[in-house]
Chains A and B, each alone.
Chain A
Amino acid sequence: AQSVAQPEDQVNVAEGNPLTVKCTYSVSGNPYLFWYVQYPNRGLQFLLKYITGDNLVKGSYGFEAEFNKSQTSFHLKKPSALVSDSALYFCAVYSWGKLQFGAGTQVVVTP
């Protein structure tokens, strides 16, 4: 079965510091991977995706993610976090016509 795992329930980071949210995947074949962000009581907003091509994918709001096939990872990164980045982040894999989501990682950025 295709799946993604987000090992951290919460990530705390000070504003201005680098932010990393981890995601590992388990798929057969080529993975189609996504990151979404959710603010309180809102739907999900698309950040970026990896389908094929460069391993480093750049997305919205200054986020990027690196696809690492040998480590089966697709970690989300931002060089300098903002307080407004505090939200719930979901990694997802596209499988059988549907998105399978990870459990989510709560990011808390403190001033």
Chain B
Amino acid sequence: GAVVSQHPSRVICKSGTSVKIECRSLDFQATTMFWYRQFPKQSLMLMATSNEGSKATYEQGVEKDKFLINHASLTLSTLTVTSAHPEDSSFYICSARVASGTATYEQYFGPGTRLTVT
């Protein structure tokens, strides 16, 4: 149980275009989803927290107009990188937290999306 999927796993796009990444909780409902960014051999940097049906909360220094997050349902959140530039190339990982129960503090992570902007 507690599987999180991401799509696509890899994407290459041209500079100036937008890219959408989907994150789904497959077998549980997630009231809260998180989006992280990871550079090679580095830790995860939290970009934003999204709660179903409300606006995402962005971490300091993350441009909300560039990284659009939508949490439309209890099983789906999307991250759209708008007007992508080469410096946006990174590994993006989503995570979902179960809605209730004793495992409230656990987060389950998706397999990640490798974005390359050329």
| B105→A51 contact, CB < 8 A | yes
Q: How many residues does chain A have at the interface if contact means C-beta atoms less than 8 Å apart? A: 22
Known: A43-B4, A43-B110. Contact between A101 and B105, CB under 8 A?
A: no
Known: A41-B114, A98-B34. Contact between A49 and B42, CB under 8 A?
A: no
Residues of B within 8 A of A94 (CB): 105
Cβ of B58 < 8 Å from any Cβ of A?
A: no
Convert A5-39 into 0s and 1s, putting 1 for each residue whose CB lies closer than 8 angstroms to a CB of B: 00000000000000000000000000010101000
Interface size class of B (residues with CB under 8 A): 20 to 34
| B109→A45 contact, CB < 8 A | yes
List residues of B (22-54) whose CB comes within 8 Å of A's CBs.
32, 34, 41-44, 46, 49
11 example contacts (A-B, Cβ-Cβ < 8 A) are as follows A32-B105, A36-B109, A43-B93, A43-B111, A46-B106, A49-B106, A99-B34, A99-B46, A101-B43, A104-B41, A104-B43
Residues of A participating in the B interface, judged by any CB pair closer than 8 Å: 32, 34, 36, 41-46, 49, 51, 88, 90, 94, 97-99, 101-104, 106
Q: Is the interface of B mostly helix, strand, loop or mixed?
A: strand
Taking the nearest CB of chain B, how far is it from the CB of A49, in angstroms?
Answer: 7
Residues of B participating in the A interface, judged by any CB pair closer than 8 Å: 4, 6, 32, 34, 41-44, 46, 49, 91, 93, 95, 105-112, 114
Residues of A within 8 A of B106 (CB): 34, 46, 49
| B112→A42 contact, CB < 8 A | yes
Taking the nearest CB of chain B, how far is it from the CB of A90, in angstroms?
Answer: 7
